[in-house]
Chains A and B, each alone.
Chain A
Amino acid sequence: NAGVTQTPKFQVLKTGQSMTLQCAQDMNHEYMSWYRQDPGMGLRLIHYSVGAGITDQGEVPNGYNVSRSTTEDFPLRLLSAAPSQTSVYFCASSYGDRRSDEQYFGPGTRLTVT
């Protein structure tokens, strides 16, 4: 299994541009989520999905959109990039058992918005 994969690894955008961060998993996990990590802070939840066709907002959803058309993929879209969205983005997945779920994380995407 490849686990959780994220592309691209690095990205530089200009203010106002849009882009999609890709996340895929091959473990048949129901639960997928997106986080951002800023210096000196832990991870903050952006959006999450408990299964195909179902998404919900996390702590910091503004400026980001998600969709979950398949179990495997959970892309994160930046509609109009802002410098405040400069961060490292992590995608995670798990089976979906709330009590015993172990989260598997991707390697991250480092995004810079100028």
Chain B
Amino acid sequence: KQEVTQIPAALSVPEGENLVLNCSFTDSAIYNLQWFRQDPGKGLTSLLLIQSSQREQTSGRLNASLDKSSGRSTLYIAASQPGDSATYLCAVMDSSYKLIFGSGTRLLVRP
């Protein structure tokens, strides 16, 4: 059974710092891995999607990497801003076309 774990559960950093969020999964048979952002009381917004054949994707200050063989992904946020404060969720699309989520990392960027 596919399990997705995110570490740390919460993170507080000063503005301007570069940071890394981690995601691990137990079964490497995936179609893709996605990173989402969730603001309090809101739905999810897709940030980056990495197909299983890809190693990384970039969007602005965000860079996501995927190492399928070791079951790991990282989301790198450069020059963090208070507006980046949110919960970040990773999810893998498994071999039966189900999207399996981690429990998220709650990020606070202090001004």
A74 interface residue (CB < 8 Å to B)? no
Any B CB within 8 A of the CB of A102: yes
Enumerate chain B residues within 8 angstroms of A53, measured Cβ to Cβ.
none
- Whether B75 sits at the interface, judged by CB under 8 Å, is no
The answer to whether A42 touches B44 (Cβ under 8 A) is no
A59 to B3, CA, bound (A): 11
Q: Does A45 contact B (CB under 8 A)?
A: yes
For the residues of B in contact with A, the DSSP-based class is: strand
A103 touches B102 (CB 8 A): no
Q: Are A103 and B99 in contact (CB under 8 A)?
A: yes
Q: Is A12 an interface residue (CB 8 A)?
A: no
Measured between beta carbons, the chain B residues less than 8 angstroms from A64 are none
Bits for A10-33, please: 1 = Cβ < 8 Å to B, else 0. Answer: 000000000000000000000101
Question: Scoring A residues 67 to 99 as 1 if CB is less than 8 Å from chain B, else 0, what string do you get?
Answer: 000000000000000000000001010000011
Which single member of B6, B43, B102 contacts A107 (CB below 8 Å)?
B43
Whether A45 and B49, one on each chain, are in contact in the complex, defined by CB atoms closer than 8 angstroms, is no
B12-38 at interface with A (beta carbon < 8 Å): 31-32, 34, 36
Contact A100 B49 (CB under 8 A): yes
Contact B103 A98 (CB under 8 A): no
Task: Report A-chain residues with C-beta under 8 Å of the C-beta of B97.
Answer: 31, 48, 50, 98
Q: Measured between alpha carbons, how far is A104 from B46 in the docked complex, in Å?
A: 7
> Which A residues touch B100, using CB under 8 A?
45, 59
Contact indicator B103/A101 (Cβ below 8 Å): no
With the chains together, A50 CA to B36 CA distance in Å? 22
Question: Given A42-B103, A107-B43, are A100 and B4 neighbors across the interface (CB < 8 Å)?
Answer: no
Which residues of A are at the interface with B, using a C-beta cutoff of 8 A?
31, 33, 35, 40-45, 48, 50, 58-59, 90, 92, 98-108
